[in-house]
Amino acid sequence: MAAIKLTVNGKPVSVDVEDRTLLVHLLRDHLGLTGTHVGCDTSQCGACTVHIDGRAVKSCTVLVGQANGRSITTIEGIANGDELHPMQAAFRDNHGLQCGFCTPGMIMASIDIVRRHGRELTEDVLRQELEGNICRCTGYHNIVKSVLDAAGRMTTAQAAE
């Protein structure tokens, strides 16, 4: 057992768990943050994507010992109170989801993609970047539409800050 100290969605967290515990299981089983999904157990689907220190990672590939002392953001931590994050709003407005299982991971990965590419993000680049996130329902058309819409919203929101 190890004392793991993290900041999760802006709040300090201290948990005693085995170092070999996967971050996804810490989030879901110990902290009750069930928006981070376990979809494949092989790191292929991206349903478990969260941000560690602002970068998207598949939490099923990270041991809690590796995340010790770091800042974790999950889907539950991106809205500002009742105000959705621009990516969440764009997914809602463009129907970028069907069953919703992949949606949290898609949103978290997409936020990172937009942050890295900004106004230079093209549909081709986006489709390449999303290859690590699997959606079994939509065929990606509305997901791509949502992310490109959110990219404009995010750059507009960042310019206003």
Range list of β-strands (E), 9-160: 11-17, 49-52, 55-58, 71-73
Dump pLDDT digits (tens) for 127-146. Answer: 999 998 998 887 799 999 99
- Claim: this prediction has a pTM higher than 0.85: yes
Predicted local confidence at residue 161, as pLDDT: 45
Return the bridge partners of 12, or none.
Answer: 7
For residues 20-32, give the mean pLDDT.
96
The pLDDT-based confidence of 42 (bands split at 50, 70, 90) is: confident
Inter-residue contact 150 to 114 (CB < 8 Å): yes
Reading across the β-sheet that carries 2-8, which strands appear in turn? 11-17, 2-8, 71-73, 49-52, 55-58
